[in-house]
Structure 1
């Protein structure tokens, strides 16, 4: 089998979900980090769609983070993300679907409403891996890209407020779902925990998130994060990342090796 390849956005939470599954299972893989807006032609050639993540696995291009995890469970069954017990497996998949539908789109809309007025931060989050020429092109197009993103994700003050409420409701529900074990299903880490933690990462911003911000957080996002930092779901996400995120299984191509070295340098600098 050829080395699996993941087409991704570096800072996207659904992409983090697929990336985390690959890393958790220790599947060596190549990552292709795309630039939002400029990714469309590349992805459409592979899947006929326009969204990432996309995983090329055994000759097939798989779109959608849940389908990617399902395929990984078949090909790389250990360590398992699906519980062996049928009832627990059913519940873990129900929770994965719930967070995909009731958390992922809403936290994305809420956070983008907050950060889109700060194009420098958006570029740092999504484009810092790219070549200087690509960064310049994205910078020139950023006003148009912002307009398109607001339209595609239906971002405005009213929808952002609904998104905030839905995000907080999902966090409250997560608190209620937690078992005495500290996990969402049974007594071990499953796809439910991975999904919830990955999809909360844009708000929680765990230190273990693999792509570090190279620009200060916008002040409105800092205030929101501080306001929810005592929520049990927020603290649980930090703990889940700390205990289960692990190391990257990315195969270091020449381009990715440069990025890994650069990110390590930036992390050391910002850690002072």
Structure 2
């Protein structure tokens, strides 16, 4: 059986967990926090999560794991068979990660953990988020999903990135980020109504206190 190593407050872990649930693939979970200690580096070369343990070894990087799960040919496909459409899904997923999730992540310490980030960082993040959401508006279909009428890996990445980017833009800049891409707010709401998303959210909420203690240096 597959084992998903990580923690339920991680949006990247939750991308993989959501995909596993959507596909109906049996799996176990094991708590693992990012670290540069040898036991973690032995299974995740950069010390990051998620890590998927398979019978053949360990895989890291959420995008790689999502493709691996699809290649198992179990449950609904997250990537189209057509080469162009498959590439388009990967393009959309990468855009969401690079131009929404990563710029927003630079501001997480101030938005979620009571810290502060520099004004320079906030200015850069605001500009990047606006460029990113506008690029997504020009590229995505929102009909009703990012790449068309079927749920895809791009939607999985969007589900666990757009909410965080929206929170950063709202709290720090007073921006309704998703209003810049008509259909994106409705898509996020639609995705959150799926049973898999509700289970992931319940597990995330239950694990949040423990994660916040860890993030603030607690034992």
TM class by shorter chain equals 0.7 to 0.9
Q: SS of the counterpart of 1:187?
A: coil
1:117, distance to aligned residue in structure 2 (A)? 2.1
Q: Does 1:197 align with 2:159?
A: yes
1:47 is aligned to 2:9: no
1:96 maps onto 2:93 in alignment: yes
CA contact (8 A) 1:13 1:198 kept: yes
Change (3 A) 1:223 1:159: closer
CA distance in 2, matches of 1:182, 1:90: 19
Q: Could you tell me how far 1:35 is from its partner in structure 2?
A: 3.9
Q: Which has the higher contact order (CA 8 A, sep 6+)?
A: 1
Name the structure 1 match of 2:191: 240
Q: Which runs of 5+ in 2 are unaligned?
A: 210-219
Aligned length: 203
Larger Rg: 1
- 1:40 CA displacement: 4.2
Q: Give the structure-1-normalised TM-score.
A: 0.63
What pairs up with 1:127-142 in 2 under 5 angstroms? none
Could you state the TM-score of these two structures normalised by the residue count of structure 2? 0.76
Secondary structure of the residue aligned to 1:101 is helix
Distance 1:104-1:223 versus aligned 2 partners, 3 A rule? closer
Query: Does residue 263 of the first structure (1) align with residue 210 of the second (2)?
Result: no
In structure 2, distance between residues paired with 1:202 and 1:97 = 16
Correspondence for 2:176: 228
**2:143 pairs with 1:181:** yes
* Aligned match of 1:75: 72
Which of 24, 30, 33 is equivalent to 1:32? 30
Specify every segment of 5 or more residues in structure 1 that has no aligned partner in the other structure, as ranges.
Answer: 119-149, 206-219, 250-258, 267-272
Provide the rounded CA distance (Å) in 2 between the counterparts of 1:73 and 1:4.
14
Residue 238 of structure 1: SS of its match in structure 2? Answer: helix
Q: RMSD of the alignment, in Å? A: 3.2
- The alpha-carbon distance between structure 1 residues 194 and 180, as it changes in their structure 2 partners (threshold 3 A), is closer
- The correspondence for 1:17, drawn from 15, 32, 38, is 15
**What is the SS of the residue equivalent to 1:103?**
helix
